[in-house]
């Protein structure tokens, strides 16, 4: 099919990495010649935490999926698409988490709907493929980094410890208390922050502790911390095995406050280790470019040609 209007659907309650990656694909579509448009649910926030507020002319006032030339859906966006629409309008489905393979969750039910699926990593593709429910082809496109140049320029291995605990607040609180009990000051982020503020906090840190859920599809915050020059500590989360190598570009202690605190102390006390992890992290991050992600997306769109 020829390029036309690609319609996105978003419910933005707060900025998350999931929204950020859909935003990347929105911009990929524009760069590849599509007329990308987004419908924001009435409950979506309308401030700088919502990246689509920077393109007000591309925000649709009504949700009319049947009139689009292609739909781009992620997560629960499927719930806004009437059954059978996908047989008239091609659907691209971005799958970012392992939860889609859990039969107890509504996300699992959407796997039976026809779509071209893009998975952010091989673990996600393996998990949803194992359900036997998929209808339509699947591509693996590893998640790419999208860092503002001004923030990236600030990343020179700063000072202090930053704990990103938005996905695991309990562990973050215990870790921060443990570190402070040892005389180590740590900035603890428990709430979601505007993206620019979050990235600037990472860029200022010497050591970053990023706490994922136990099972992630990719976990981009770990890669972002590497790209911004931090020595990184994070537990295993399945999806982050695609880029994280313990002792090479990060430390991967057990997800306990004691083990995490020991990893932080180890990095703070060993300048050579910090330098090695920072160098390994930057090298890893350099392999996850937006241009490569866009090129791979172009191949998915080419498959939609008759």
What is the per-residue pLDDT across 231-247, written as a single tens digit (0 to 9) for each? 999 999 999 999 999 99
155 and 267 in a single domain? The answer is: yes
Using the predicted structure, report yes or no on whether residue 100 has a pLDDT greater than 70.
Answer: yes
9 and 140 in a single domain? The answer is: yes
Residue 81 is part of a domain; what is its CATH number? 3.40.50.2000
Angle at 259 between CA 253 and CA 163, to 5 degrees: 80
126 and 162 in a single domain? The answer is: no
What pLDDT shows up at residue 206?
Answer: 94
Domain total of the chain: 2
The two tokens of residue 201 are 């906090």
Element (H, E) at 298: helix 290-302
Element (H, E) at 19: helix 17-31
Using the predicted structure, report yes or no on whether residue 220 has a pLDDT greater than 80.
Answer: yes
pTM for the whole thing? 0.91
132 and 163 in a single domain? The answer is: no
Domain span at 254 = 149-285
| Cα separation, 213 vs 216, whole angstroms | 6
99 and 17 in a single domain? The answer is: yes
Using the predicted structure, report yes or no on whether residue 185 has a pLDDT greater than 60.
Answer: yes
What pLDDT shows up at residue 60?
Answer: 98
273 and 223 in a single domain? The answer is: yes
What mean pLDDT is predicted for residues 33-51? 96
Angle at 201 between CA 47 and CA 191, to 5 degrees: 55
The two tokens of residue 168 are 């695991």
What mean pLDDT value characterizes the chain? 94
Using the predicted structure, report yes or no on whether residue 157 has a pLDDT greater than 70.
Answer: no
165 and 271 in a single domain? The answer is: yes
Residue 1's pLDDT band (cuts 50, 70, 90): very low
Q: Are 242 and 218 in contact (CB under 8 A)?
A: yes
Between the alpha carbon of residue 20 and those of residues 49, 74, 76, 96, 118, the distances in Å are: 10, 12, 16, 11, 15
What pLDDT shows up at residue 151?
Answer: 75
273 and 293 in a single domain? The answer is: no
What pLDDT shows up at residue 306?
Answer: 56
Strand partners, 187: 162
Angle at 192 between CA 189 and CA 196, to 5 degrees: 90
Residue 107's pLDDT band (cuts 50, 70, 90): very high
What pLDDT shows up at residue 155?
Answer: 63
225 and 120 in a single domain? The answer is: no
Strand partners, 142: none
What pLDDT shows up at residue 19?
Answer: 95
The two tokens of residue 231 are 């020595």
DSSP 8-state class, residue 237: -
Using the predicted structure, report yes or no on whether residue 24 has a pLDDT greater than 70.
Answer: yes
DSSP 8-state class, residue 249: T
139 and 253 in a single domain? The answer is: no
What pLDDT shows up at residue 158?
Answer: 73
Residue 186's pLDDT band (cuts 50, 70, 90): very high
What mean pLDDT is predicted for residues 261-287? 96
294 and 218 in a single domain? The answer is: no
């Amino acid at each position: 099919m020829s390029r036309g209007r690609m319609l996105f659907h978003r419910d933005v309650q707060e900025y998350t990495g999931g929204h950020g990656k859909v935003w990347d694909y929105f911009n990929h579509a524009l760069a590849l010649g599509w007329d990308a448009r987004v419908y924001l649910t009435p409950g979506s926030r309308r401030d700088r935490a919502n990246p689509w507020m920077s393109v007000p002319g591309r925000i649709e006032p009504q949700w009319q999926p049947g009139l689009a030339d292609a739909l781009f859906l992620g997560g629960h966006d499927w719930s806004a698409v009437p059954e059978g629409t996908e047989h008239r309008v091609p659907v691209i489905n971005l799958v970012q988490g392992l939860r889609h393979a859990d039969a107890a969750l509504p996300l699992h039910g959407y796997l039976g709907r026809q779509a071209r699926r893009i998975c952010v990593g091989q673990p996600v593709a393996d998990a949803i493929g194992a359900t036997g429910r998929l209808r339509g082809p699947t591509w693996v496109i590893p998640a790419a980094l999208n860092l503002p140049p001004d923030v990236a320029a600030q990343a020179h291995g700063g000072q202090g410890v930053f704990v990103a605990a938005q996905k695991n607040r309990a562990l973050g609180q215990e870790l921060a208390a443990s570190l402070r009990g040892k005389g180590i000051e740590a900035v603890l982020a428990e709430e979601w922050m505007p993206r620019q503020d979050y990235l600037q906090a990472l860029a200022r840190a010497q050591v970053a502790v990023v706490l994922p859920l136990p099972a992630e599809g990719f976990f981009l915050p770990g890669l972002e911390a590497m790209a911004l020059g931090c020595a990184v500590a994070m537990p295993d989360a399945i999806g982050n095995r695609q880029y994280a190598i313990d002792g090479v570009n990060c430390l991967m202690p057990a997800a306990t406050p004691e083990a995490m605190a020991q990893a932080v102390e180890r990095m703070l006390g060993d300048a050579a280790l910090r330098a090695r992890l920072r160098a390994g992290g930057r090298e890893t991050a350099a392999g996850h470019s937006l241009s490569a992600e866009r090129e791979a997306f172009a191949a998915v769109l080419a498959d939609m040609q008759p």
